[in-house]
Structure 1
Amino acid sequence: MTTFTAARAASNFPIFSPPHGGGVLCCAWGTIEVTANPVAADFYAMCKVPKGAVVHGGLFTSDDLDTNATETLDLDIGWLANGVDLANSSGLGNLGVMGTDTVAGIKPEAGYNYPLGGTIITDPPLTFGADTTIGITCVATAATFAAGTMTLRIYYTVP
């Protein structure tokens, strides 16, 4: 397992927490270049949310990283343990095999465009008890890898 860290998830990158909270919608995000075929258990640390963050949603977008006609790349979105909350590698999305087909009127180009789900749908609210790293875990490698850019956005408030 290898961990790749986007600039906005680095240990010295400041985590935004609004001074007054109470409903200000924030967005933590990270972008990373994927230059080698991900292998099972690789983790892409994308961004961090602050202690007390209540996650309301998010979006994962990426270039097509598996150009095979029958894709095998499988990615999950979740978080690392933070000393208070346990890790959950698919807590924001068990995306399954990453299909890239276009969808008329929604996604007219090939690539990935997934709203987040997981516990923010099945067991809301998702609140973190400490600063938390959010990222992407590879479950299965691509059949035919193509380098590309992944971006993850996390929408949250701090009450």
Structure 2
Amino acid sequence: MNAIIWPEGYIPGFCDNFASNEVIMAGLSVKEIWPLLNTPSLWPTYYKNSADIRFYNKKGPMLEQDVRFYFTTFGFPVEARVTEYVPPAAGEPARIAWHGWSGEGETRLDVHHAWLLEDLSGGRVRILTQETQNGNPAKELAKASPNPMINGHQEWLDGLVAAAHAAKA
């Protein structure tokens, strides 16, 4: 199976916080999942921890390489820029990743949030989302139990899968 591509400064184990969530299931494909993830205005319809989504420079409503966008999540207002964008293609995993940031100085949080979607044998799909974080807020999140990033991203995955099943019905 494929892996997330990490940029310098955001490699898991060398950051202040790391979250990894994955689901593998039968009955869905990357092409059914992709539109729900690639269109941020749809996120709040299946993931309650996302809101206030907007694009800059007359872009949107879908993500694309280098596009800047904004959203609120985990109580943080996040400015973001897409750093990796690979739409679905036969035999290749789809990828979306963004650098997000919030706050300044001691409250600054920098993240790399990446998604990998791949079709597997037997009509299965794999959805992997991982995020690394740097900054004082990330250090605090890493100490929290239960881990809000793991739990929040699992809700995102579960909602994404449920929305894809509902769209298929």
TM-score for both structures, normalised by structure 2: 0.30
Q: Specify which structure has the bigger relative contact order, considering alpha-carbon pairs within 8 angstroms and separated by 6 or more residues.
A: 1
Which one has a larger percent strand, Structure 1 or Structure 2?
Answer: 1
Point out the structure with the larger helix share. 2
